[in-house]
Amino acid sequence: MNAIILSALGGIVMMFTGIFTQNKIVIKNIAIITLLLLLIGNLLHFYGIYMLHVDVKDMLQFNNFGLFFNTIAFTSTLIYFLLSGTDITKVGINVAEYFALIFFVLCGVSILTSFHNLLMLFLGIEILSIPLYILTGADKKNLKSNEAALKYFLMGSFSTGILLMGIALLYGASGNFSIESVPSTTSKVAEMANSSILTPLGLLFVFVALLFKVSAAPFHFWVPDVYDGAPSVFTSFMATIAKAVGFIAFIFLFESRIAELGPSSRIIIPFVIILTLLIGNITAVFQQSVKRMLAYSSIAQAGFMLFVLYSNNDISSEGILLYSVAYSFATIGIFAILIKMKDYTFEGYNGLAKKEPLIAAANTIFLLSLAGIPLTAGFFAKYYMLLSAIKANGQNALWLVIVAVLFAAVSVYYYFRVIQAMYFKEGNPEIATTNTSFKVILLALAAIIIFIGLFPTVVLNFLYF
Amino acid sequence: MNAIEILFWLLSALAIISAMMVLLSKNPVHSVLWLIAVFFAISGHYILLNAQFLAIVNIIVYAGAIMVLFLFVIMLMNLNKESEPKRNFWRILIGIISGGSLLMILVSLIRQATEINNKNALMESGNIGLIKTLGKLLFSDYVVPFEISSVLFLSAMVGAVVIGKKE
């Protein structure tokens, strides 16, 4: 509850900051301080210190898993503010409002990590999405940004409609909004519908809507255009924190109910995983722009994260947390560098290593982590996801794991294209001037990624204490 | 035949006639106006069923907000005779088949719904739709989502200002 209240308050604080000051540096620093308070408030929840005692009527449930994901999300946002905060202030004139909207997204994140009721799932997803639609269109003078925002809004509204339809069907089947399947004893409708098709159909609708939100194929069509059209700073936020939380919502919802999706769930989930990996990886190979390549690569990474639904056990829950850390940190780092570049194509990176050796080195580590090369966090993230599939289904899962590894090998090609451009090609890349603190934070982030790659259990130990 | 029954038949006739006029009128703006009449007639039915809240919300949301959007879309589309799609035989046939299928499903559903046979609607006696009942539920069992939805509206409002403000 601390996180929900504090993030909403943080948004309001940022709104009012916009009245009292127009100084961009002040606004950015207030945002960072508010975020630190939010992070501390969330950590206090671990130790049982609450701001308010609210009777949540079992609509929210707080456990270490959700709180830990909150911590990951807030830490990622903190790093994001520190690295790209200055660039957020350059998007337009409504600087304070952008930060306010980001805080509202974080409020949605903290609801999605604690919901225990379909009503809260709906509210969480909407609080998460609506600020994102606006941030996508924040660059009002840019036609591509306008198009992306409209596309995102329309597609997002449709998927919300499907989600609501699914929730309505589930309500019809059980007579309540609980995420656990407790058939109501009083509802006449539930009695009639007990053995009916309502529950699987409702779950399927909710499943489809959530697949849309996490940009899994075949519901990925909005991703490239929206990620490409949105201002790069906001793409960075959208592709990481807002996306990873979709999987947490998935876990909470399907932990207990995946079997009720019917026998078809054993077919649908591997099908979605393979299609996502295929489309994400193969299309990313043909991209000319690094930003668009990252959009497709984020679809491909979603394919790996979807393993959490396939295996649905303890290892996969640990794995998704590790994956969120590895993926969010690396992507935020890559985008922080991308924003500074003038030319977003692969050629734009030519010869970066000569001009800015430190930035190029950090970028290399981030890309290696995304590709899943050992000694980086990305390796263990992928390892845990694949291990969980083997643990869950034994030999039957072997073919799926082999396919996933093959696609991970494909992904190495397009990640290494950037590294190749930076180190082995001649050129004079145009990069905005960066100050020392930017480089220091970037290198610290790279160091964290390597540290997690060496000792992944350090992160996971947080879950159990 | 008491007053409620007379009102019921009057409102039903008004609803059906207006609904027919929505389809039959040539001018799209007239269609929208007839649609507003349908919503008012249905709201009248809700009041007969003792569901005042639903009746008012139906008028505010549908007859108010959504109809205005409809009108805006129609005005922006700039419809006229030339741009109207030509009616051909196949188009009409497809329309008849799909509309007929829907009608068949609805009729068969109502025939099969033995639950509602010989049951009367809760005229004047039901209290489910009263604002009092709804308010009590909203501020007891559903108070958490009710309060949290304020964050949703706040973020939407901030967004509207960000998008709409002149730079």
Contacts of A380 (CB under 8 A, 6+ apart): A322, A326, A452, A453, A456
The answer, for A119 touching chain B at a CB cutoff of 8 Å, is yes
CB contact under 8 A, A54 and B167: no
Chain A residues inside the 8 Å CB shell of B149: 123
- pLDDT at site A465: 62
CB contact under 8 A, B155 and A127: yes
Class of domain B3-129: mainly alpha
Closest-CA distance of chain B to residue A124, Å: 9
- Residue A115 β-bridge partners: A60
- Residue A341 β-bridge partners: A431
CB A261 within 8 A of CB A309: no
The answer, for B124 touching chain A at a CB cutoff of 8 Å, is no
Closest Cβ–Cβ partner in B145, B158, B159 for A123: B145
CB contact under 8 A, A127 and B165: no
Tokens of B141: 């069992």
- pLDDT at site A190: 52
Closest-CA distance of chain B to residue A224, Å: 22
- Residue A345 β-bridge partners: A289
CB contact under 8 A, B144 and A57: yes
Report residues of chain A scoring pLDDT below 70.
181-196, 262, 465
Closest-CA distance of chain B to residue A369, Å: 34
* Average pLDDT value for residue range B129-133: 82
The answer, for B148 touching chain A at a CB cutoff of 8 Å, is yes
- pLDDT at site A182: 63
The answer, for B166 touching chain A at a CB cutoff of 8 Å, is no
Chain A residues inside the 8 Å CB shell of B165: 94
Bond preceding residue A270 cis, omega within 30 of 0: no
CB A226 within 8 A of CB A89: no
- pLDDT at site A194: 53
What separation, in Å, do the N-terminal and C-terminal C-alpha atoms of chain A show?
Answer: 19
Interface test with A, best of B114, B151, B163, B165 (most A CBs within 10 A): B151
Of A235, A253, A233, nearest to A297 (Cα)? Answer: A235
Interface of A with B in 79-98 (CB under 8 A): 92-94, 97-98
- pLDDT at site B83: 66
CB contact under 8 A, A12 and B142: no
List for chain B the helix, strand, coil content (%; round to 5).
Answer: 75, 0, 25
Interface of A with B in 141-180 (CB under 8 A): 141
CB contact under 8 A, B161 and A54: no
A77-129 per-position pLDDT tens digit:
999 999 998 888 888 888 899 999 999 999 999 999 999 889 999 999 999 99
Tokens of B12: 């039903």
CB contact under 8 A, A11 and B152: no
Distance CA A438, CA A436 (A): 5
The answer, for B116 touching chain A at a CB cutoff of 8 Å, is no
CB contact under 8 A, B154 and A140: no
CB contact under 8 A, B145 and A119: yes
Distance CA A390, CA A397 (A): 6
- Chain B residue closest in CA terms to A57: B141
- Residue A117 β-bridge partners: A178
Closest-CA distance of chain B to residue A131, Å: 6
The answer, for B141 touching chain A at a CB cutoff of 8 Å, is yes
Spell out a b/e string for A106-135, using b for 16 or more CB atoms within 10 Å of the CB, else e. Answer: bbbbbbbbbbbbbbbbbbbbbbbbbbbbbb
Return the sign of the alpha-carbon dihedral for residues B126, B131, B135, B136: negative
Closest Cβ–Cβ partner in B141, B145, B151 for A104: B151
| Angle at CA of residue B37, ends B32 and B40, nearest 5° | 130
- Chain B residue closest in CA terms to A135: B159
CB A5 within 8 A of CB B147: no
What angle in degrees, to the nearest 10, is found between the helix axes of A95-112 and B143-164?
Answer: 150
